[in-house]
Amino acid sequence: MSGFLHQRSLHNPFSNPFPISSSSSTNSKKPISIFSPTILLSLLSLIVVLGVFSPWLGMPQNLFFTSKPSISKWGHYTLDQALTFVAKNGTVIVCIVSQPYLPFLNNWLISITMQKRQDMVLVIAEDYPSLYKVNELWPGHAVLIPPVLDVEAAHKFGSKGFFNFTARRPSHLLKILELGYSVMYNDVDMVWLADPFPYLQGNHDVYFTDDMTAIKPLDHSHDLPPPGNKGRPYICSCMIFLRPTDGAKLILKKWLEELQLEPWSRTKKSNDQPAFNWALMKNVKEVDLYLLPQAAFPTGGLYFKNKTWVKETKGKHVIIHNNYIVGFEKKIKRFRDYGFWLVDEHANESPLGGL
Ligand SMILES: *[C@@H]1O[C@H](CO)[C@@H](O)[C@H](O)[C@H]1NC(C)=O
Ligand SMILES: *[C@@H]1O[C@H](CO)[C@@H](O)[C@H](O)[C@H]1NC(C)=O
Ligand SMILES: *[C@@H]1O[C@H](CO)[C@@H](O)[C@H](O)[C@H]1NC(C)=O
């Protein structure tokens, strides 16, 4: 239970939607003479560049205008187009990010690249700056599913806007299933140590991980765990694999219904996880569910807090979730302490380059 969504709600993705234009307006304040040596030198080099490249580029104005049309083009890039481009074997790996999460996105992507699965990754951007940034560095790998979140409305707890905000994850995933694809969803405060796909055994509808810290035997059951104190299990909504079956679609629809039923209040943190658990528990008979092995997919509450267990299960860990801790800085520090902040030394392996 990461408190991840709650932090996301505090950030206004519209506060600086076009950093490029704001920086150019800052520059224009500086009094620069047209005849300064720097300007003359720049003009001279531009003429040389145009002379060299224009035969390949066609009209020289391409040089000046290529970035704008290619940026606005991504505003019309549909989920259908993105899935066609990215999916391998009818399967995609998705995450959902807004601007403040880009460093975590980069870290997560580096770990996936190390397992050679990056080609299947589709980044669902929740704001235009993230959409443009990812597609500029890695064309075609980000999509925005309209409407863009209304941050003001999302802040009113219990409102339709707030429902829209918590409902985005199940609603995006349902759209992907309805287009006929299997999908693996990950929070971006995760790191892959191995390829998770070999663990998706059998032909179940929904695969997930337990967020409870209690240690299970290595040969534990793959059934939905029994309910805890709150009358429901504590399955993590952070890592889910779904096949495009009626069963998986039913879980996502019920998840959306449960979110609407949930008595949200100001004191409760915005979190879609309880509703996901009610949906799983109430439909356990209709849907083929599969609990992934704890040793491979431990909660952060176990992995980062029990060194004995980590030693005992050495070599079995597949995805590590940086949860049971709140705050970007603390998450980064913890990943650094464990050598999982790959951005420090492996930035050149990211498909996003030096983001
Ligand atoms: C695609 O599916 C085939 C058959 O199910 C499988 O053998 C292959 O390993 C899959 N490829 C990837 C990249 O998962
Ligand atoms: C909630 O989402 C619906 C459809 O996605 C949209 O039409 C509506 O305007 C949104 N409401 C608010 C308050 O954001
Ligand atoms: C930590 O892990 C060890 C080994 O699995 C276990 O025996 C012990 O009970 C765990 N400690 C806690 C506090 O859960």
Q: What is the pLDDT of residues 89-128, one digit of tens each?
A: 999 999 999 998 999 999 999 999 999 999 999 999 999 9
Which residues is 208 bridged to in the sheet?
Answer: 240, 291
| Whether CATH 3.90.550.10 fits 77-349 | yes
Residues with CB under 6 A from ligand 1: 88-89
Ligand 3 pocket test: which of 212, 213, 215, 304 has the largest number of ligand atoms within 8 Å of its C-beta?
215
Which amino acid appears at position 93 of this protein? I
* pLDDT the model gives residue 15: 29
* Mean pLDDT to the nearest integer, 310-323: 98
Q: Assess whether pLDDT exceeds 80 at residue 222.
A: yes
For residues 184, 188, 190, 191, the Cα torsion angle rounded to the nearest 10 degrees is: 90
From the number of C-beta atoms within 10 Å of its C-beta (0-12, 13-18, 19+), residue 83 rates as: buried
pLDDT of residue 143: 98
Residue whose C-alpha is closest to residue 73's, from 172, 143, 175: 143
| Residue 269 pLDDT class (50, 70, 90 cuts) | low
Atom nearest to 313 CA in ligand 3: 5
User: Considering only CA atoms, which residue is closest to atom 10 of ligand 2?
Assistant: 161
Centre of ligand 3 to C-alpha 314, Å, is 14
> Which residues contact ligand 2 via a Cβ below 6 A?
147, 150, 153, 160-161, 164
Rounded to whole angstroms, how far apart are CA atoms 40 and 169? 52
Question: Which ligand is in closest contact with the Cα of 156?
Answer: 2
Interval 192-206 mean pLDDT: 98
- Pocket of ligand 1, candidates 86, 88, 89: which has the most ligand atoms within 8 Å of its Cβ, to mutate? 89
Backbone angles phi, psi at 244, to 5 degrees: -75, 55
**At residue 190, does pLDDT exceed 80?**
yes
Tell me which residue has its CA closest to atom 11 in ligand 2.
161
Lowest mean per-residue pLDDT among 118-132, 208-222, 250-264, 314-328: 250-264
Region 28-41: mean pLDDT is 49
Q: How far apart are CA 211 and CA 301, in angstroms?
A: 8
pLDDT band of residue 265 (cuts 50, 70, 90) is low
pLDDT, position 45:
56
Give the CA distances from residue 4 to residues 87, 101, 166, 206, 348, in Å, rounded to whole numbers and listed in that order: 27, 10, 12, 22, 27
- 119, 127, 249, 261 from 11: Cα distances, Å: 29, 11, 30, 26
- Which DSSP letter does residue 257 get? H
pLDDT grade, residue 18 (50/70/90)? very low
Ligand number nearest to the C-alpha of 167: 2
38 confidence band (pLDDT: 50, 70, 90): low
pLDDT at 163: 74
- Ligand 1 centre from 244 Cα, in Å? 16
Specify the DSSP element, H or E, that contains 46.
helix 37-57
Give residue 260's pLDDT.
85
**pLDDT > 70: what percent of the chain?**
74
Residue 43: per-residue pLDDT: 52
Residues 107 and 344: beta-carbon distance below 8 Å: no
Question: Considering only 124-138, 163-177, 334-348, which range has the smallest mean pLDDT?
Answer: 163-177
Is the pLDDT confidence value at 288 over 60? Answer: yes
Of all residues in the chain, the percent with pLDDT exceeding 90 is 67
Pocket test for ligand 2, best of 151, 160, 162 (most atoms within 8 A of CB): 160
pLDDT one-digit tens code per residue, 137-187: 999 999 999 988 777 666 665 667 667 777 999 999 999 999 999 999 999
**Cα distances (angstroms) measured from residue 301 to each of 298, 305, 308, 325, 326:** 8, 6, 14, 8, 12
Q: Quote the tokens at residue 70.
A: 């290619």
**Shortest-distance ligand to the CA of residue 120:** 1
Which residues line ligand 3 at a C-beta cut-off of 6 Å?
A: 215, 306, 308-309, 312
63: confidence class by pLDDT, cuts 50, 70, 90? very low
Going by alpha carbons, the residue nearest to atom 14 of ligand 2 is 161
DSSP state of 216: -
116: exposed, middle or buried (Cβ count in 10 Å: 0-12, 13-18, 19+): exposed
Mean per-residue pLDDT of the chain:
83
The C-alpha atoms of residue 255 and residue 258 are separated, in whole angstroms, by 5
Number of the ligand closest to the Cα of 302: 3
Q: Count CA within 13 A, CB hemisphere, residue 22.
A: 6
Q: Counting atoms of ligand 1 from 1, which one is nearest the CA of 197?
A: 14
Domain boundaries of the chain, sorted by first residue: 23-65, 77-349
- Asked whether residue 227 carries a pLDDT value surpassing 80, the answer given is yes
Q: Ligand 1 centre from 267 Cα, in Å?
A: 46
pTM equals: 0.80
Residue type present at position 201: Q
Residue 213 pLDDT > 90: yes
Mutate which of 220, 309, 312 for ligand 3 pocket (most atoms within 8 A of beta carbon): 309
Stretch 219-245: mean pLDDT, rounded? 97
